[in-house]
């Protein structure tokens, strides 16, 4: 969390940082404040990559608003769990991504898995990438994690940057990925070289 705060200090404007400080305090006092402030984050603090050297097109890259939303959700403490479902349901893609990125920083056990599962069902590569962070590595069942990695290869999400690659994939998951790759090769389609890191397990 300190690392995110420090990165924001370097990247956000003074006005954005002041808004974030005030909003964090308001959320800490009343988590329902998230309902009105959460959609405003990108406009108030910015949407560029958190690291200025990162490629904005990289689906794994954290943005300024991802980090700010994580700090706001964490500020809600125990009250955050009651807000997550509605924030996610009514949020746009950036808001949903911010929630998924924040999950490892929230004290909710495995009770946020439904959000990860929902994101994996989409074809939004940024949501899928955000969903498969440290939270999914820790809490997603083996079979579901294996299927998610296969989905990444299918929709074009690079798997090397995923938190649990390659150790989290089971032998059965590696076999499924190998079968998928053979089908692609037989059809004359390209296969990303990174898949062999998992298959070789």
| The two structure tokens encoding residue 96 | 């949903």
Q: Yes or no: say if 119 and 96 are a contact pair by the CB < 8 Å rule.
A: yes
Helix then strand then coil, % of the chain, to nearest 5: 70, 0, 30
**How far from the centroid of its chain's Cα atoms is residue 68's Cα?**
13
Indicate the average pLDDT of the chain: 95
Q: pLDDT tens digits for 6-60?
A: 999 999 999 999 999 999 999 999 999 999 999 999 999 999 999 999 999 999 9
**Contacts by residues 196-200 (CB-CB < 8 Å, ≥ 24 positions apart):** 197/160, 197/165, 197/166, 198/149, 198/159, 198/165, 198/166, 198/169, 198/173, 198/174, 199/174, 200/174
Model confidence at 200, in pLDDT bands (50, 70, 90)? confident
Query: What pLDDT, on the 0 to 100 scale, is given for residue 97?
Result: 98
Q: Yes or no: say if 83 and 184 are a contact pair by the CB < 8 Å rule.
A: no
Model confidence at 158, in pLDDT bands (50, 70, 90)? very high
């Amino acid at each position: 969390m300190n690392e995110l705060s420090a990165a924001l200090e370097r990247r956000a404007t003074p006005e954005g940082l002041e808004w974030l400080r005030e909003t964090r305090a308001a959320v800490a006092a009343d988590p329902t404040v998230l309902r009105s402030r959460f959609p405003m984050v990108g406009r108030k603090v910015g949407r560029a990559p958190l690291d200025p050297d990162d490629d904005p097109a990289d689906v794994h890259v954290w943005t300024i608003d991802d980090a700010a939303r994580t700090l706001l959700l964490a500020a809600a403490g125990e009250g955050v769990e009651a807000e997550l479902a509605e924030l996610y349901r009514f949020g746009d893609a950036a808001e949903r991504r911010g929630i998924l990125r924040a999950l490892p920083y929230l004290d909710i056990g495995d009770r946020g898995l439904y959000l990860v599962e929902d994101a994996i069902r989409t074809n939004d590569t940024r949501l899928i990438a955000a969903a498969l962070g440290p939270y999914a590595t820790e809490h997603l069942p083996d079979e579901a994690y294996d299927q998610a990695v296969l989905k990444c290869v299918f929709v074009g999400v690079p798997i090397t940057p995923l938190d649990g690659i390659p150790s989290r994939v089971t032998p059965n998951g590696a076999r499924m990925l190998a079968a998928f790759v053979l089908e692609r090769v037989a059809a004359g389609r390209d296969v990303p070289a990174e898949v062999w890191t998992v298959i070789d397990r």
